[in-house]
Chain A
Amino acid sequence: MRTQILGILTLIAMLATFYAVFIYAPDIKDQGVTGRIVLIHVPIAILGLLFVVPVFVGNILYLIKRDLKFDRFASCAAEITVLLISLTLATGMIWAKPIWGDWWVWDPRLTLELILWLTLVGYFMLRAYLPDREKKAKLSSVLGILAMINAPINYMVIRITDRTQHPQPIIAPSDPNAGMAPEIANAMMISFIAFTLLFVYLFDRRLKVAKIEDEVDRLESVVLAQ
């Protein structure tokens, strides 16, 4: 029931996002229509960094309590994070081509995002390689924790270095020149809410699948023991 309600809310919010991006929002200064890509790219990128937190919390709790349910929680969050970061990289590249004239530049923000993606891909490669469930959880936790080190640096990097092509933050209370038109801000908020609902919905469904996976593993070992 909870998943169904979340699914319906997501659908409504997504329709509102389409309206906001294609009809309601004005073009972004100096970027034309293409600039509206940020209304999709930015919420996905923010969520990508936020989803690293449950990966970290799940892995830390597993290492402290040695309960596999925390590992299950962390690995599901990591899967959603990989999806989010993959979409961030893809949408960023599509924005970069018309605006910067190139698909990719070795900018600190982009490079850190790629390292985060590789760290989490490594997390799943390691899990696929190790057959033992406990060992899998213990060793992959290291990579989950490493991802958390990357996320705040990734968030801060455009604020602490001038050597970046990436646009400066548009929401920065300390900077009087920062800010965006109210219509853009509203569209961004609608898009952020819609994508948050969507990825929470996917995370919820993924957790359910992981629970079934664990039950199958448990029953398989019971059958084998008989």
Chain B
Amino acid sequence: MSSMNSLSWLYAICTVVFVGLFIYTWMMSSRQKRLEEKLDQLRAQLKETNR
């Protein structure tokens, strides 16, 4: 029962959930940033070629 009454399991679960969510959000944001840079690059390249 002592392990059942320990808050550490509750903290552990919050850590797992929010670390997981943070990693996913961070990965998505960096992917978005990379893609936006590539998109700008491609648009500039097309503009240059169409001149």
Q: Residues of A with Cβ closer than 8 Å to B?
A: 21-22, 27, 31-37, 40-41, 44, 83, 86-87, 90-91, 94-95, 97-99, 198, 202, 205-206, 208-209, 212-213, 215-216, 219-220, 222-223, 226
Q: How many interface residues does chain B have, given as a range?
A: 20 to 34
Report the separation of the CA atoms of residues A208 and B32 in the bound assembly, to the nearest whole angstrom: 9
Instruction: List the 7 closest A-B pairs by CB distance, nearest first.
Output: A32-B4, A219-B42, A32-B5, A98-B3, A212-B35, A34-B9, A34-B4
Do B39 and A34 have beta carbons less than 8 Å apart?
no
Do A98 and B4 have beta carbons less than 8 Å apart?
yes
Chain B binding site: helix, strand, loop or mixed by DSSP? Answer: helix
Segment 1-15 of B: residues with Cβ below 8 Å from A: 1, 3-7, 9-10, 12-14
Chain A binding site: helix, strand, loop or mixed by DSSP? Answer: helix
18 sampled A-B residue pairs with Cβ under 8 A: A32-B1, A33-B4, A33-B7, A83-B20, A87-B21, A90-B16, A91-B17, A94-B9, A94-B13, A98-B3, A98-B9, A202-B25, A205-B28, A212-B39, A216-B39, A219-B43, A226-B46, A226-B49
Report the separation of the CA atoms of residues A220 and B31 in the bound assembly, to the nearest whole angstrom: 17
